[in-house]
Amino acid sequence: MFIVNLFSVVLHTIVVTVLLLHDKEKVYLKGKDKIVPPFRFGVEDVATKMWFHKLAYPGQFYSFIQHLDIIFYYLRKKGKYAKEPKTESHWILGRLNIEERRMYMYNSLSTAMKDSAAIKACQPFAVLLPHFFALFDEFKKENKPVCLDPFEVVKVDGLPQQTSNDCGCFVASFAEYFIDMKLIPPIFDVEKHRDRLAVLFYKYARMKEVEFIDSEDEAPPKGPKKNLS
């Protein structure tokens, strides 16, 4: 595919400078990791090439501030403008359906123990969200009777499963499939999805830098309109 070939040229020649394979946290030679000026992604600035390395390579854990916060910032924009410590960390995706009063749980590491822990993590949201909706009259807006019973948590079956530390990539891709109103395929090539994310964000950051483009949330506020009368 063109996107993969572009990744090979752009990311490996510009972003991935000399790799030191013995240490996953120090893959660049000293002084070769910096991006000057930093890429501006709205919610965060990216000043190191290591950000793209972790985005692109399987087995690298996506952190919330450094990766998922930026990815979901742009997924929210995509949805908005789209047409109709020795603890184990793991990302899951929750999708709320108010009409059905259900929270659908998307888990890319599905075992009896993992699913039980994921459902348990969703329960506080299932209990609290009806109270928030009642507080802000969301039920009335939808012409629904006010009901404070917890939402039902439903596990989504038939999802592709991760084999390494790639849950963040799975979660971001599940959300994008839903925003694009596409079915999640049973076979998921995590390397291609990571390549695609890395290329898209690198190209977007370069475009903003070269063309001096600001997103809505980054642009300075507009002044008051002049009265010409």
Read off the pLDDT of residues 35-92 as tens digits, 9 standing for 90 and up. 999 999 988 899 999 999 899 998 888 887 789 999 999 998 888 777 654 556 899 9
* Domain boundary residue, one of 60, 86, 112: 86
Both tokens of 204, joined, read 């977007």
Same domain membership, residue 195 and residue 95: yes
Q: Structurally, how many domains does the chain consist of?
A: 2
What is the C-alpha separation between 35 and 100, in angstroms, rounded?
Answer: 47
Q: How many C-beta neighbours within 10 Å does residue 57 have?
A: 17
Q: Answer yes or no: are the C-beta atoms of 62 and 36 closer than 8 Å.
A: no
Q: Which helix (H) or strand (E) holds 75?
A: helix 69-81
Average pLDDT over residues 212-221: 65
Residue 221 within a domain? no
My answer on whether 118 and 191 are in the same domain is yes
- Domain assignment of residue 70, given as a range: 30-86
CB of 116 closer than 8 Å to CB of 66: no
Q: Cα-flanking dihedrals φ and ψ of residue 32, to 5°? A: -100, 0
Q: What is the mean pLDDT of residues 142-147?
A: 76
Please indicate, yes or no, if residue 7 is contained in any of the structural domains. no
* Pairing between β-strand 34-40 and β-strand 45-48 as defined by DSSP bridges: antiparallel
Q: Is residue 204 in some structural domain?
A: yes
